[in-house]
Structure 1
Amino acid sequence: MNANANVLRLAASQALMLSAIVMSMAVAGILGAQLAPDAGLAALPIAAMVVGVAVASLPAALLMRRVGRRTGFLCGAAIGVGASLLAAHALQVQSFALFVLGHFLLGAYQGFANYYRFAAVEASGPTEAGRAISLVVAAGIVAAFLGPQLGQWGRDWFPGELFLGAYLAQAALSVVAFALLAGLRLPAVSPTQGGAARPLGEILRQPALLMSVFGTAIGYSAMIMAMTATPLAMLGCGLPGTRVTPVIQWHVVGMFAPSFFTGALIKRYGVPRIMQIGFALLLAHVAVAVSGLEFLHFFSALILLGVGWNFAFVGGTTLLTQTYRPAEQLRVQMANEFIVFGLVALASLSAGWLYARFGWVLLNLSMAPLLVAALLAAGRMARAGRIVGGR
């Protein structure tokens, strides 16, 4: 199987996985508000999903190091099937604890799937890293439409069982992803290939790697915090639940549609400049979000949030691939995923609490200082011309 076929399978699997995640992002907060014993816990299922990503990132990398990418990805898809079925069962028995657990496992599925983008680089080669990463990330555009629609289609499939059908359909997506991943033929990745590996501490002290991890973590944390709180904020402002779906949908379009050209922009202008633009767009989201509470404020702010995340995430991932030798890639990827998604999990966990205690405006303003710091750091790297971390 050639490199393009592998990348396309990974992209299609990414689209299916993200459709499942986006569906839960659109409906889990609403269902959480109905099932939770306290209003402040309404966003806990979504937060648990992000925690699941962080917790799974280390064992996923270790498993793939031992048995290979393909087997690891198949394990992740199997977890996704079980997670969706558990969430569906939780809705049947009206158990908030089981609903949270189901979303934690759904996050674990994403924790495995987050390595698709690195597998795409390995399949296509380092010179095509930006293009391969962009193609896999761009597949999420499917999720922008399929995810929210899946929630709407499955909302009333079973009378008296709100969204039960949606979670059963979500399980079916993971089954299809499993079938696609079974056909992967990826090059073997050995922890000893490519010469001697440096100590992890030495690798992590590289300025380019620090910028990659810091920038990706800040951009992703800002995105997940605002996205988690958006359905609650819209409902809290008196907007109908039907208005939540298009906001989340076009936010996801903003997240993934730019990937069709992000790789080309990175080649032309360099990673630091693209990350810099990303942080500027995330700050623009904050400005729009705090300027009003009408539908158009949420709609436009969430599109800016999505595009800003894309530039920060694709740029940060591309930068990361330039900082390690082949013998170091599995350890560095594992450390990156754990650090980034650990911080993202903290942001997600705090979103519901911040919104419940301080409201939508202050939640968004709390992001601004770190976004300014990331913007300045990317600007310094761009001026210094530091792009490659020294292999």
Structure 2
Amino acid sequence: MDGRTKLSILLMSGCQALMNSTTSIMISSAALVSLLLLGDDKSLATVPVTAVVTGTALMTIPASLFMRHVGRKAGFLCGALLGIVGAAICSYSIYVGNFWGFAFGAMFVGMYTAFGNYYRFAAVDVAGMKNRSKAVSYVLAGGLIAGFLGPQIASHSKDLFLPYVYLGPYLAIIGLGVIAMVLISFVSIPKMSVHQASGEQRPLLEIIKQPTFIIAVLSAMIGFGVMSLVMTATPLAMVGCGHQHSDSFNVISWHVVAMYGPSFFTGSLISRFGEYKIIFMGALLGVLSVIVALMGLELMNFYVALVLLGLSWNFMFIGGTTLVTTTYKPSETSKVQGMNDFLVFGTVATASLASGQLQEHFGWEVVNLGALPLLGLVMILTLWNMPMFRRMRTVA
């Protein structure tokens, strides 16, 4: 990769860090804000987090189509602006004590995430297919900064504007969005040529019936869905077990570090071992996370389980993202990427909403047990479709 390419990927990695810092602020604090804004029924506490993911799911396909017409750069700027608007609505809702207004603002933040999730695909556009796994990994590595930045912003700014607890973090999101817009303005992303944009396209059903596409999307769907299911419930479970709010911030912080830290070498691992083996390893790490979570409710159990969960997400999401880029032609990019992310974040929204209900009515153990059959499905399908086993079945 030349210097200009590396600079653009570095800038997008910075934008990814700012976007994920916004997301981690929401994840680490939104449920706790809800506890302050709600009445007696606390089962709705995860609704704002669900609203974030719902906003992401609803905007995923429109964002892809919008960027097809106006370009990635304009799309990223538009997305950051939506995040700023959403944070302003959340801030005002906290000020006036309006729970549903807070959830509505959270949905706009989710729309910002829908645009930002295409940074990883834009990295492939910049670096080319030959360097796709490393490009995706390097951009997602920006989330490592978010692991420290987001939860720490939430923790240290939550009491800045007393008696309006948690107003500070949402005002900070506005600042993060402004910085992201500045960085985006310096990114250089090649535009799709007329030939690429207007080339022959297969029916979407034909594309999604490919075994490779199914494995890729399931890996990202289940990896992200399981992560959302468990992580969303974590602050509620920890506070319910008697741990401090600051403990939940720190656990989420290390979880996010585990999500993005391995990205510096995940691309190299994929290049060496292939997407299938990395996806399988990610699912296995998810199973280990559940085992640790079920072993006890001590603070260390939460730390270890959430770190393993973060590693699981990294391998499954990056492995799935890299694999899905091999299943479509340049002319099919927008519709396939849009469908991929719609399925992924539709799953995440469902998992997030289910998380609060399961935690409130059945408890932490059931939340974790719900992840096992999903992870097992990915392990079985990935192993069955792994190239070396496909060759063995063909010979037999």
Instruction: Tell me, yes or no, whether TM beats 0.5.
Output: yes
State the secondary structure of the residue aligned to 2:386: helix
Alpha-carbon distance in structure 2 between the residues aligned to 1:236 and 1:165: 24
- Report deviation, 1:119: 0.4
One-letter identity of the residue aligned with 1:185: S
**1:168 is matched with which residue?**
171
**8 Å Cα contact 1:191-1:330 kept in structure 2:** no
- Report deviation, 1:384: 4.2
Alpha-carbon distance in structure 1 between the residues aligned to 2:48 and 2:298: 26
Alpha-carbon distance in structure 2 between the residues aligned to 1:386 and 1:112: 37
**1:40 is matched with which residue?**
43
**8 Å Cα contact 2:11-2:184 kept in structure 1:** yes
Alpha-carbon distance in structure 2 between the residues aligned to 1:382 and 1:229: 33
**1:9 is matched with which residue?**
11
1:141 matched to 2:144? The reply is yes
**1:322 is matched with which residue?**
326
- Report deviation, 1:153: 2.1
Residues 385 and 360 from structure 1, CA distance in 2 versus in 1: closer, same or farther, beyond 3 angstroms? same
- Percent of residue pairs identical: 42
**1:230 is matched with which residue?**
234
One-letter identity of the residue aligned with 1:20: T
One-letter identity of the residue aligned with 1:92: Y
Alpha-carbon distance in structure 2 between the residues aligned to 1:228 and 1:152: 17
User: TM-score w.r.t. structure 1 length?
Assistant: 0.97
Instruction: Write the deviation string for residues 158-210 of structure 1: whole angstroms up to 9, x where unpaired.
Output: 12111111111111000000111122221112575174222211111111011
Alpha-carbon distance in structure 1 between the residues aligned to 2:304 and 2:26: 22
One-letter identity of the residue aligned with 2:16: Q
- Report deviation, 1:20: 0.8
Alpha-carbon distance in structure 1 between the residues aligned to 2:364 and 2:292: 12
User: Equivalent of 2:67, from 46, 64, 68?
Assistant: 64
User: Equivalent of 2:316, from 300, 304, 312?
Assistant: 312
User: Equivalent of 1:30, from 29, 32, 35?
Assistant: 32
**8 Å Cα contact 1:130-1:318 kept in structure 2:** yes
1:264 matched to 2:268? The reply is yes
One-letter identity of the residue aligned with 1:28: A
**1:210 is matched with which residue?**
214
Alpha-carbon distance in structure 1 between the residues aligned to 2:373 and 2:387: 21
**8 Å Cα contact 1:33-1:43 kept in structure 2:** no
**1:356 is matched with which residue?**
360
One-letter identity of the residue aligned with 1:121: V
Residues 157 and 367 from structure 1, CA distance in 2 versus in 1: closer, same or farther, beyond 3 angstroms? same
**1:123 is matched with which residue?**
126
User: Equivalent of 1:289, from 274, 286, 293?
Assistant: 293
| Aligned counterparts, 1:80-95, within 5 A | 80-95=83-98
One-letter identity of the residue aligned with 1:169: A
- Report deviation, 1:304: 0.3
**8 Å Cα contact 1:208-1:386 kept in structure 2:** no
User: Equivalent of 2:252, from 240, 243, 248?
Assistant: 248
**2:104 is matched with which residue?**
101
Residues 386 and 140 from structure 1, CA distance in 2 versus in 1: closer, same or farther, beyond 3 angstroms? farther
**8 Å Cα contact 1:191-1:327 kept in structure 2:** no
Alpha-carbon distance in structure 2 between the residues aligned to 1:271 and 1:383: 10
State the secondary structure of the residue aligned to 1:176: helix
One-letter identity of the residue aligned with 2:184: L
State the secondary structure of the residue aligned to 2:196: coil
User: Equivalent of 1:20, from 19, 22, 41?
Assistant: 22
Instruction: Write the deviation string for residues 116-157 of structure 1: whole angstroms up to 9, x where unpaired.
Output: 000010001000000000001111000000001111221121
Regions of 4+ moved over 4 Å: 383-387
- Report deviation, 1:381: 1.9
- Report deviation, 1:236: 0.6
Alpha-carbon distance in structure 2 between the residues aligned to 1:191 and 1:348: 40
| Aligned counterparts, 1:151-162, within 5 A | 151-162=154-165
Alpha-carbon distance in structure 1 between the residues aligned to 2:383 and 2:141: 26
State the secondary structure of the residue aligned to 2:327: coil
User: Equivalent of 1:278, from 278, 282, 298?
Assistant: 282
- Report deviation, 1:386: 6.8
- Report deviation, 1:314: 0.4
Residues 253 and 191 from structure 1, CA distance in 2 versus in 1: closer, same or farther, beyond 3 angstroms? farther
State the secondary structure of the residue aligned to 2:300: helix
Residues 287 and 69 from structure 1, CA distance in 2 versus in 1: closer, same or farther, beyond 3 angstroms? same
- Report deviation, 1:99: 0.6
- Report deviation, 1:370: 1.2
**8 Å Cα contact 2:61-2:335 kept in structure 1:** no
Alpha-carbon distance in structure 1 between the residues aligned to 2:192 and 2:23: 28
Alpha-carbon distance in structure 2 between the residues aligned to 1:242 and 1:214: 34
Instruction: Write the deviation string for residues 267-322 of structure 1: whole angstroms up to 9, x where unpaired.
Output: 11000000000000001111111111111111100000000000000000000111
**8 Å Cα contact 2:155-2:246 kept in structure 1:** no
**1:345 is matched with which residue?**
349
Provide structure 2 residue ranges, at least 5 long, that are not aligned to the other structure.
392-396
Alpha-carbon distance in structure 1 between the residues aligned to 2:90 and 2:192: 35
User: TM-score w.r.t. structure 2 length?
Assistant: 0.95
Stretch deviating more after TM superposition (359-368 or 374-383)? 374-383
